[in-house]
Chains A and B, each alone.
Chain A
C-alpha cells in the first residue's frame, strides 16, 4: 500500500510545479550557455534570464526590469536589501522592525545592534496585528530603514504595508522601507508601486519554484551596495553567474502564481476555513491563535491547550500528515515561537501550537481526512497530560459557552 502523504506545511516549502520543472529542464543540458557570453549559443540563456526578469517585474508590478535582482533565496534578498541600504546611508544609525519578523531578518538586526545600530522592535497585539502608533512614533531623523514583513510565516497575518509606507513618508522622506514578502508571494497580489515600498524580497520555493532562487525588488530611487561583490551581473548589484535554470523556474512560477491567485483566495481559503472551523468545533481544548480576517488564505495557526506540539506532529506524521509547530521542542531551540510569545499566547497553548499551511495542491479529501483523525490524536494525548483538572475545567467552560 502506498503511504499516504498529506502535505500541509506549504509555508515551510512547496512542491515544484510540473510546468515550472519542465520550463527549467532545457537549461541544464541543452541551453547551458553563460548569459554573459557573446556567441550565438549563449543567447537563449541570456534571453531566458531577461524573460524571467520581465515575469518577476510583472508579478510585483515593478516599473521596469532594472529594479529586479535575482538572488539565491529570501535570506539573501533580505541581507542584500538591509545591509546594502545601510551601507549607503552610513550617517543614519536607527532601524525599525517588528518583533515577529522571520529569524533570517531578526538575527541580522541582532548582529547590527552589536555593531552599534539602534533597533526598535514594534509590538503586536494578541491577534498578531502591528502597533502602528508605536511605529509612527519611533520614526525620527536618524531612521535609515523600516523593515516589516508582508505576511507572517507562522500566523499568516497580513500587515498594512501601504499604510506603513504612507506613515514613513510623512515622517521622514529619506527613510527607506524594506518588505520581506516571502510569505505573501503567490498567496495575495503584490503591487510594489501601489504599496509604495523601496525594496521587497521574495523566495521561489514558497510558491512552487525550486529552493535556491529568490528575487529582490529595489526601486530606481533607492541606492544599495552589493552583498556579493565580483562580476557585473545583475547590474553590479549581485555578482555571480546567473543560475539560469532556477531563474527560469522562478519566472515561470511567478506567472503560474499570478494566474492562481484567485483560486488561492477562494478555494484554498475555503478549505483552510473548513479545517479551522472543524477543529474548533470538535476539539474542546483548541484555540485559534489569531482570528483576524486579514490573513493569507492558506494559513491556520491553532493551539491545543495542555498538550505539546511535537508530540502532535509525530502522531500526525505517523499518518502521513505534515504540519509544523511553534513549540520549543521542534525547533531545537529551547524556547517556543517568538511570534506567539510576542502575541502573548498563553503558555497553556503556546507549546501545543500547530500551523497548517495549505497550497493549490491541497484537496478536500485531504482536509476531510485530517478533520477525521485529529480529534482522536488530541484525545489520546490529552489523556497523557498531567493537567487533567485544568482540562476538565476547560471542557466544562466550553460546554457552557456553547450552550
Chain B
C-alpha cells in the first residue's frame, strides 16, 4: 500500500474541477491509455488570467490528486505565473508523493506545459490531433514515449541525480530498460561530468568507441545473455561481432541499430554507422 498524504487522499476521494470546458482557450494532454495514465486539462483564459480550469484523468490515486490540486493552483493566476509552476510545486502542494509516484506530478506539469504551448494558436481545436502530430523532440524511452526535454526538465526542477530517480519521475527506463545508458548520458551532460569533445582525433575516437562498447553496451547485452566485440573501425564505420544470445536473435538488427548505433552516435559522433561482420 502506498503511503499517501492526507492531502493526496482528500483529492482522489473528492477531486475538484472535474470535467471539460467546451469553450476552453487552451487544452493540454499528457500520457496515454497504453502507458496507464492520461491527463487532459482545460483552461479558460481571459486578459492573461486563468479564470477557470477543469481536468479529466485516467490514472491512479496520485495522478488524480496531482490533476485536481493543479487546477486549484492555477485558477486566478496569470499565465506568466502559471508557466512557472513545476512538478515539484505540485508534489509539494500535495504534501509530497511516494518516490515511485513522482511521475504523476510530472504528468501534471507536462499537461500544463502542453496547454500553454498551444495557447494562442488559432488551430487549437481538436485535442486528439495533437497525438498525431510528428514528435518534435527526440524520444529517449520508447516504451513510455519520454522525450529528452522532459528528462532534462525533471533533472532541473527536482535535482535528480540517478537513473532510478529519473524512472520514478518520468517512467523512462521503467519497462525494457534499454534506454538507461542514454538517461545516464543526459544526467552526465547536465552535470557536466563528461565533456563531449567537439573534434576527436582518429585515435581518440577509437579509444572512445572501444570504451563505450566495453563499459556501456556490452554489460547491457550481457544482461540478456548476449554480448558484443569490436572488430574494426574505418572512419565512421564501426564493425562489430555479436555473440551469445544475440547470435541468430531475430531482434539483433534492431539491437544493432537502435541501441548500439544510437548509443555511439549520441556519445561519439552522429555520423557513426554500425555494421555486423561475420
Instruction: Please name all residues of chain A whose beta carbon is closer than 8 Å to the beta carbon of B61 when the two chains form the complex.
Output: 310-311, 314
Interface membership of B153, Cβ < 8 A:
no
Residue B48 CB within 8 A of the other chain: no
The residue from A116, A308, A315, A318 contacting B36, defined by CB atoms under 8 A apart: A308
Please tell me if A141 contacts chain B, counting CB pairs below 8 Å: no
Q: Write the chain A residue with the least CB distance to B15.
A: A384
- The answer on a CB contact under 8 Å between A387 and B58 is yes
Which stretch in B37-45, B71-79, B199-207 binds the other chain?
Answer: B37-45
Contact of A308 among B29, B63, B100 (CB under 8 A): B63
Contact call A308/B144, Cβ cutoff below 8 A: no
Please pick, from B34, B38, B167, B171, the residue contacting A386 in the complex, using a CB distance under 8 A. Answer: B38
Q: Are B36 and A351 in contact (CB under 8 A)?
A: yes
- A347-B59 Cα distance, complex, nearest whole Å: 13
Is the CB of B97 closer than 8 A to any CB of chain A? no
Chain A: minimal CB distance from B24 (Å): 13
Within 8 A of A (CB), among B53-75: 56-61, 63-64
B223: interface (CB < 8 Å): yes
- With A and B bound together, what is the CA distance between A347 and B35 in angstroms? 9
Please state if B225 and A113 are interface contacts (CB–CB under 8 Å): yes
Determine whether the beta carbon of B225 is less than 8 Å from that of A114. Answer: yes
**Nearest CB to that of B101 among chain A residues?**
A329
Picked from B64, B100, B144, B167, the residue with its CB within 8 Å of the CB of A384 is B64
A306: interface (CB < 8 Å): yes
A348 at the interface (CB under 8 A from B): yes
- By secondary structure, the A interface counts as helix
Cβ of A333 < 8 Å from any Cβ of B? yes
Which of A317, A387, A388 contacts B33 (CB under 8 A)? A387
B167 contact set on A, CB distance < 8 A: 334
CB distance B59 to A311 under 8 Å? yes
Q: What residues on B are CB-neighbors of A374 within 8 Å? A: none
Question: Is there an interface contact between A335 and B60, defined as CB atoms closer than 8 Å?
Answer: no
Q: Knowing A334-B175, A383-B18, A384-B57, say if A311 contacts B12 (CB, 8 Å).
A: yes
Complex-state Cα separation, A333 to B173, whole angstroms: 11
The CA-CA distance from A314 to B10 in the complex, in Å, is 12
Q: Taking the complex as formed, is A307 at the interface, i.e. its CB lies under 8 A from any CB of chain B?
A: yes
Chain B residue contacts of A311, Cβ below 8 A:
12, 59-61, 64
Q: What 0/1 pattern do residues 373 to 389 of A give for CB contact below 8 A with B?
A: 00000000001111110
B138 contacts partner chain A, Cβ-Cβ < 8 Å: no
On whether the beta carbons of A347 and B174 are closer than 8 Å, the reply is no
Is A147 among interface residues, defined by CB-CB distance under 8 A?
A: no
- Nearest A residue to B31, CB-CB: A386
Does A386 lie within 8 Å of B175, measured CB to CB? no
Q: Assess whether B58 is in contact with A385, with CB atoms less than 8 Å apart.
A: yes
Q: A327: CB under 8 A from chain B?
A: yes
Is B254's beta carbon under 8 Å from chain A? no
When distances are taken between beta carbons in the complex, the residues of chain B under 8 Å from A330 are 60
CB distance from A341 to the nearest CB of B (A): 11
Pick the 6 closest A-B CB pairs, nearest first.
A334-B174, A329-B60, A386-B56, A310-B60, A386-B40, A328-B36
Assuming A114-B223, A384-B64, A387-B58, what are 6 further A-B pairs, CB within 8 angstroms? A308-B37, A311-B61, A330-B60, A334-B174, A351-B36, A383-B18
